[in-house]
Amino acid sequence: MIIPSDTTVRAWLAAGASAVTPVACATLLGVIAGARLSLPDDAMLFLFAIMIAAFGGRRAGLLAASLSVAAYDFFFVPPRFTFAVADLGYVMTFAVMFTVGAGMGTLVARLRHAEAASRQRERRTAALLAFTADSARAVDVAEVASAVAAHAEDVLAAPVVVLVPGGDGALAAAAGLAPLAAQELAVVRAAHEQRRPAGRGTQLVPSARLLALPLLAGGDSAGVVAVHLDRARRRIDREARELLEAIARQAGLAIARLRLTAEARDAELRVQAEELRSALLSTVSHDLRTPLAVITGTATALREISSALTPDQLAAIDTIVEEATWLGRILTNLLAITRVEHGGEIHSEWVPVEEIVGSALARAEAVLAGRDVALDLAPDIGVRVNPILIEQLLLNLLENAAKHTPPATPIEIAAALAGDGVAIEVADRGPGVPPGAEHQVFQKLYRGPNARGAGAGLGLAVCRGIATAHGGTIEAAQRSGGGATFRIWLPGGAPPPPPIDDRAIDDHAIDDHAIDDRAVDDRAVDDRAVDDRAVDDRAVDDRAIDDRAVDDRAIEPAPTGPGVSPAAGAAP
Amino acid sequence: MTGPGDTVVVVEDELPMRRFLRSALMAHGFRVVEAGTIAEAERAAVDTRPDAIVLDLGLPDGDGLELLKRLREWSTAPVIVLSARDRENDKVIALDAGADDYLTKPFGTSELLARIRVALRHARAQPATEDPTIIVGPISIDRARHQVQLAGAAIHLTPIEFRLLLLLARHAGKVLTHRQLLHDVWGPRSAQQTHYLRVHMAALRKKLEVDPARPRWLTTEPGVGYRLRDE
């Protein structure tokens, strides 16, 4: 047996109410009028009553038809005041009454339904528009979330909760009051992670008591809107679902827009910060260096008139120059650390280790004061770095060694391939790094216990900053046999191959190659002037210059030959 | 070669720096004209037709580089730019725009005079009458025969190395930027391939220097280029 639900019973009761009155009126009117004057067709009254009742809907129409048939049969069809029918022709009348009742009722119901549907559509369109306007005004994700919750609740007449990922990435309620149970939260998470609807009416956990839709922003889920479906409202109709989906889509777009805006703002801020930093650096650089340059320059100019000065006065001038130079080095380090620590872009290029060590040694000449520096550099290796910064790094290590070790002790620099890069070691024979301070030495303002003279404690911090900025490492260790070793690792290796451009000209190169090869062989012989002249003439042509680039490579693998080695007596 | 009578325009906004430059140059017999702004500098350059110009790149009333470019439209007087250590890019741009050499602050009198002397010498050399043999320190280069000798001993160089050395030697004492070297040796398309240049410079040092890691002649100007020293 089917127990009709509350809503069905209520619907029939309402239908009864709207059916009983017109039928009762028709019956009364028929009875009263029939007594005074003869009506040609009483049935017309009932048809009219059915029509009126049918405005109450299909149920009311059918009910009114049934009641009319009963009343008509009882009061008007002979034998009157019984339900018996003498003339079978009346059955036809009953059928017409039913048909009119059912037909009219259905028609009216359809019209009503269509009207209600269009009204609802209008309301939902308005709701979506209102939501779009709200979400467009939102300045952050939380405002978008509360707009979603407010409008969805309004439209669906069901509790809604909106969740967005927090700082840790976990979903947290951002709007809506409905608390979620653990298994409901799992459904919401599923919708978020799989970026598709989950819960009631979907393929994902359809048994759940809620519907969760992800807010898609640029292919990614920026949050979830979840609707509670309680016992009274087991599912939401297709249109409401579509509306909810539209809101979710709009919310996703709004969040994507907010994210883009935020990114653009961040980028702009970064550019501004970068501009400010370089303006500041160039001001500091100019304002502090110029007086230093004047001090150094004027002191050297004074020193030129040495014949007029006493040894004490000369020593004083030297002190001025030394101190100004020292200040200049601190300034250079300060600027270098600002440069590498504040994310300025580092322009890297392949540089031979020998060249970079060489220029660092040249700059460290005064600091090293003739100290013995032994080199052990593997041939033909290079590092992919900013040469200025790495020169500064090496200079700092050399200065550090000079400062912390006795004047006569040697310093050694070694470099070799290590993995995808090059390891460079700067080692000394001083007191070494204090045990346990291997990491501390790289901290800003750290000063070793054996530091001689003044020091700002910046040098090694700058070294670490520079190495890190290149994707490299630096570490300090005790050296076996006494002393300290600073080991730097930087990306690099063998020289990169020449560009394809130059290799592509091989065809042209074959002839020239022969000439050049001969030129190599003939070097030792004296009568090659004519051939060489030919080579020289070609040099006018740009094309030939490129060809030579290729030839050069061809020749290089065998660089040794008569007179190639750095000849004795080359010393200046 | 240089000395009394040579006029140097000093373009420097900082008075103390200008004073130092003036006294250092005047002590060595140069006539000095001072300019504190770009406008003054242009006037001075037009009025005095200087033999050399010392230009600080960090001028306040405009870019020293702008002055350099305008100057180069009508003047060939050597320009030596002054700049701070970590402004390598400024130096390179200035050198590529026609400056002849640079000095990194701080510098001493002797460096200043050495740069000016080299610049004046190159400005006065007549390319048409260039000696067929160039001698720089122990290195002697026979341009016609493509022969190089180091302290009298023949040294074999590849064609690229020879061109590189010849270029540096023709501008001995003067800095040449990576770009200038690449452009003249490899052609205009190679201006970005600095590793190319570095590999060949390393090879050249191996052949010409006693200790390639401590070059005496072929020195590195970090971030800028190379220089073949001539003293």
Continuous segment of H or E residues that includes residue B120: helix B109-124
- CA of B5 to nearest chain A CA: how many angstroms apart? 21
Q: How much is the pLDDT for A519?
A: 39
Residues of B in contact with A564 (CB under 8 A): 155-156, 207
Distances (CA, A) of B133 to A434, B43, B129, B136, B170: 58, 41, 11, 10, 10
pLDDT at B36 over 70: yes
Question: What is the number of other CB atoms lying within 10 angstroms of the CB of residue B211?
Answer: 15
Instruction: Decide if B222 and A391 are in contact by the 8 Å CB cutoff.
Output: yes
> How far is the C-alpha of A73 from the C-alpha of A407, rounded, in Å?
133
pLDDT digits (tens, 9 = 90+) for A109-159: 888 889 888 887 888 788 888 888 888 888 888 888 888 888 888 877 788
Q: Which of A352, A349, A460 is nearest to A415 (CA)?
A: A352
Count contacts between A and B (CB, < 8 Å).
201
Of B24, B85, B138, nearest to A572 by CB-CB distance is B138
> Is this structure's pTM higher than 0.95?
no
**Any idea how long chain B is?**
231
Q: What is the pLDDT of residue B126?
A: 66
- Say what the pLDDT of residue A568 is: 41
Tell me, what's the pLDDT at A157?
79
**Residue B34 — pLDDT band, cuts 50, 70, 90?**
very high
Which residue in the set B160, B198, B203 is minimally distant from A549, CB to CB? B160
- From residue A223, give the alpha-carbon distance in Å to each of A111, A124, A135, A187: 40, 22, 14, 13
Residue A509: the pLDDT is: 36
Report how far residue A428's alpha carbon sits from residue A404's, in angstroms, rounded to the nearest whole number. Answer: 9
Nearest to residue A222, comparing CAs of A172, A164, A261, A135? A164
Q: Which of A467, A555, A473 is nearest to A519 (CA)?
A: A555
CB-based contact B50:B33 (threshold 8 Å): yes
SS3 A261: helix
Q: Give the residue among A177, A187, A124, A126 at the shortest CA–CA distance from A149.
A: A177
- pLDDT per position as a tens digit, B105-140: 888 888 999 999 999 988 887 665 567 889 999 999
Give the integer Cα–Cα distance in Å for B65 and B93: 8
Of B212 and A539, more confident: B212
pLDDT along chain A (572 residues), means of 10: 66 83 85 72 82 83 86 83 81 84 84 86 84 86 87 82 83 78 86 88 82 85 85 68 86 87 90 80 74 89 82 90 85 79 78 94 88 92 93 92 87 94 94 83 70 63 91 91 93 75 38 38 38 40 42 42 40 38
pLDDT tens track for A19-57: 888 888 888 888 888 777 666 677 888 888 888 888 887
Distances (CA, A) of B9 to A252, A300, B24, B32, B47: 66, 21, 13, 6, 11
Residue type, A567: A
- H or E segment to which residue B32 belongs: strand B31-35
SS3 A160: strand
Chain B residue numbers with beta carbons less than 8 Å from the beta carbon of A529 are 144-145
Query: Residue for token digits 């076996």?
Result: A480
In angstroms, rounded to a whole number, what is the distance separating the alpha carbons of residues B161 and B201?
A: 8
Nearest residue to A550 (alpha-carbon basis) of A510, A495, A496: A510
Q: What tens digit of pLDDT does each residue of B175-200 get?
A: 999 999 999 998 887 777 888 899 99
Residue B170 in this model has a pLDDT that exceeds 70: yes
The alpha carbon dihedral of A259, A263, A265, A269 has a sign of: positive
pLDDT at B227: 94
Q: What is the DSSP letter of B128?
A: G
User: CB-hemisphere CA count at 13 Å for A12?
Assistant: 6
> SS3 for A309?
coil
Q: Would you give the end-to-end CA distance of chain B in angstroms?
A: 16
- What integer pLDDT is reported at residue A287 of this predicted model? 78
Place of tokens 């320059």: A297
Contact B154 A563 (CB under 8 A): yes
Mutation for B interface: A304, A333, A535, most B CBs within 10 A: A304
User: Which B residues in the span 64-83 are in contact with A, Cβ-Cβ below 8 Å?
Assistant: none
The nearest CA of chain A is from the CA of B165 a distance in Å of 15
Residues near B104 by beta carbon (within 8 Å), at least 6 away in sequence? B83, B84, B85, B91
Q: What is the interface pTM, i.e. ipTM, of the complex? A: 0.90
Q: Which residues of B touch A290 (CB under 8 A)?
A: 14, 16-17, 58, 105
Question: Is the CB of B145 less than 8 angstroms away from the CB of A286?
Answer: no
Whole-angstrom Cα distance, residue A527 to residue A533? 12
The residue of A290, A339, A522 whose CB has the most chain B CBs within 10 angstroms, and thus the best one to mutate to test that interface, is A290
Structure tokens at A112: 């009503």
Query: pLDDT at position B217, please?
Result: 95
